Amino acid sequence: MEAKDRIVLPLDVDNISKATVLVRGLREHVGFFKIGLEFIYSMLASIITPPLEEAYLNLGSIRDLFMLTDKHNFLDGKLADIPNTVGGASVAISRMGVTMFNVHASSGKEAIAKAVVNKGNSLVLGVTVLTSIGSEECVSIFGDKPGPKVLQFAKMLAELKADGIICSPQELELLGQQSELKELLRVTPGVRPLWAATGDQKRVMTPGEAIKAGASYLVIGRPITQPPAEIGSPVEAAKKIAEEIAGAI
């Protein structure tokens, strides 16, 4: 796997044209494209709300985009519901042929098990504690600090044969110390090069630090799509990040 293949680029946009521009411009420079909630619902709105002729055109563009990202897409729907609903959604997602999709670990063992059973050829990842959640808020929500809670979720995911875990880079070292977790892929948002602003992420690390700590894939959005002027274009930003990853492998 080349260094660039470890980069997951979020398509955090509100229309298909913007997403297509990003994919066409960056598909040679990143490994995966993450299709998140904003874009999922924007695609749905684009085929429901406009006049029929425009809706047909949008539908064709959506199908073209999925062909462009074939075997390089991550559906970030964060399934969180009762087990039967998660299982049914997983069946539908597997039919789409996406490479990866995710379910909230907090949905519980039965829901995760349903996702694993119904994943088809896709990989199932478990979302643990969002990188926007700090220590105090994590205690308020989950009753414990991020480290112990992520470890608890990770052990549950491994037990249920999920393929991977989504966690902040701050938990990577702790997870790497657990032999029973060695098969779990570690997909890590909250990654920011030193030259990029932190934004709304609270538990962050640089790409090189995250790879050295044990990350399998790095979710990196705005540093690539909106790089500082001194870095240059999104392609140049992606190349710079890939170079940092290569130096850490």
Residues 6+ apart with CB under 8 A from 167: 128, 129, 150, 154, 175, 186, 187, 188
For the residues of 41-95, what is the DSSP string, one character each? HHHHHHHHSS-HHHHHHHHHHHHHHHHHTTTSEEEEEEE-S-HHHHHHHHHHHHH
Distance CA 39, CA 33 (A): 12
Q: Which of 18, 34, 78, 155 is catalytic?
A: 78
CA dist 50 to 20, 202, 207, Å? 19, 38, 41
User: Has 71 been annotated as catalytic?
Assistant: no
**Pairing of the two strands 73-79 and 100-104:** parallel
Active centre residues (catalytic)? 78
